[in-house]
Amino acid sequence: MSATASPARRVLRACAWCVAFSAVAGAQAPRPQKPPPAKQRTSLFAPVDLGLLDAPDREQWQHPDQIMDALQIADGSIVADLGAAGGWFTLRIARRVGPRGRVYAEDIQPLMLERITRLVAREGLTNVVTVLGTATDPRLPTSVDAALIVDSYHEMEFENGQRRDPVALLANVAQSLTPQGRLGIVDFNPGGGGPGPASDERPDPAAIIRACTAAGLQFIRREEVPPFEFLLIFGRATARSSP
């Protein structure tokens, strides 16, 4: 036989080499990774994470005095803190309204209210009443001078990961206000930035105004709470707006 392989044999060898190479390459090539599951939106802030709300610099970027001034919260005022969580804002409102005023600290999570009860007892405050509300009714009295929703409006838009219409809740808030009462909604500016939640969990100010209008509230004005937040102020639709 000739030392030189026939053309047919050379083709067979080349095919065999290609098959072997393909098998090795297939074994070494990484398998495609499945994308991580989408993060589930949770509708309620977990009590175990309350420490995140007590950051030492919160006073500097939240500007509670500016917010309370804008809502005309003063000595003797009756105020509702809706979605009060651990009571950070409740405590400051209680000090502002003094012993002649009252603060209704509302939340739908009993553990939050237990935490607020311990907090006000430790601070020696007697003008705070905790209220266990529902997703559609905060169960407030009909004598509230000012109501606040601070950094929790997005929780009122969702329930168990599903979008929920907040109009029923807001309508009940409107009914609790005195004729000249005010609702203030404070939240993080859309688009991310700052210590707040992810951008997809930040409410759209225009959507808030539409929901409040449908609930019988009248938009009065917007204030910037720099550097991260905004404040929307509403009154009852029957009340004449004033600056």
- 35 contact partners, CB below 8 Å, separation of at least 6: none
Closest-CA residue to 185 (of 232, 236, 138): 232
Instruction: Check whether 207 has a pLDDT greater than 90.
Output: yes
What is the C-alpha separation between 34 and 90, in angstroms, rounded? 45
In a domain, residue 141? The reply is yes
Is the bond preceding 166 in cis, omega lying within 30 degrees of 0? no
* Total domains, the chain: 1
Say what the pLDDT of residue 161 is.
Answer: 65
Is there a contact between 236 and 174 (Cβ–Cβ < 8 Å)?
yes
Closest-CA residue to 95 (of 114, 75, 81): 75
In a domain, residue 15? The reply is no
Say what the pLDDT of residue 2 is.
Answer: 42
What is the C-alpha separation between 107 and 81, in angstroms, rounded? 8
In order of 6, 10, 18, 26, 91, the CA distances from 14 in angstroms are 13, 6, 6, 18, 81
In a domain, residue 9? The reply is no
What is the C-alpha separation between 93 and 74, in angstroms, rounded? 9
Q: How much is the average pLDDT of 194-199? A: 85
In a domain, residue 197? The reply is yes
Domain membership of residue 195 as a residue range: 59-236
1 confidence band (pLDDT: 50, 70, 90): very low
In a domain, residue 242? The reply is no
Instruction: Check whether 214 has a pLDDT greater than 50.
Output: yes
Residue 82 corresponds to which tokens in the numbers above?
């809706």
Residue 236 corresponds to which tokens in the numbers above?
């009852």
Q: What is the pLDDT of residues 135-152, one digit of tens each?
A: 999 999 999 999 999 999
Say what the pLDDT of residue 46 is.
Answer: 56
Higher model confidence: residue 29 or residue 127?
127
Say what the pLDDT of residue 73 is.
Answer: 98
What is the C-alpha separation between 88 and 119, in angstroms, rounded? 9
What is the C-alpha separation between 223 and 70, in angstroms, rounded? 8
Q: What is the pLDDT of residues 112-124, one digit of tens each?
A: 999 999 999 999 9
What is the C-alpha separation between 225 and 66, in angstroms, rounded? 8
Say what the pLDDT of residue 7 is.
Answer: 45
Say what the pLDDT of residue 16 is.
Answer: 43
Instruction: Check whether 224 has a pLDDT greater than 60.
Output: yes
In a domain, residue 34? The reply is no
Instruction: Check whether 240 has a pLDDT greater than 60.
Output: no
Say what the pLDDT of residue 8 is.
Answer: 44
Say what the pLDDT of residue 168 is.
Answer: 96
CATH number of domain containing 130: 3.40.50.150
What is the C-alpha separation between 59 and 51, in angstroms, rounded? 14
The mean pLDDT of the chain is 82
Say what the pLDDT of residue 53 is.
Answer: 64
Residue 191 DSSP label = T
Residue 94 corresponds to which tokens in the numbers above?
């209680």
Say what the pLDDT of residue 183 is.
Answer: 98
Q: What is the pLDDT of residues 17-66, one digit of tens each?
A: 433 434 444 444 444 343 333 344 455 655 555 555 667 888 999 999 99
Say what the pLDDT of residue 233 is.
Answer: 98
Which amino acid would we find at residue 241? S
Whole-structure pTM value? 0.78
Q: Which residues pair with 177 in a beta bridge?
A: 144
In a domain, residue 7? The reply is no
Rg (CA), the chain: 29
DSSP strand pairing (102-107 vs 162-163): unpaired
Residue 193 corresponds to which tokens in the numbers above?
């930035």
In a domain, residue 35? The reply is no
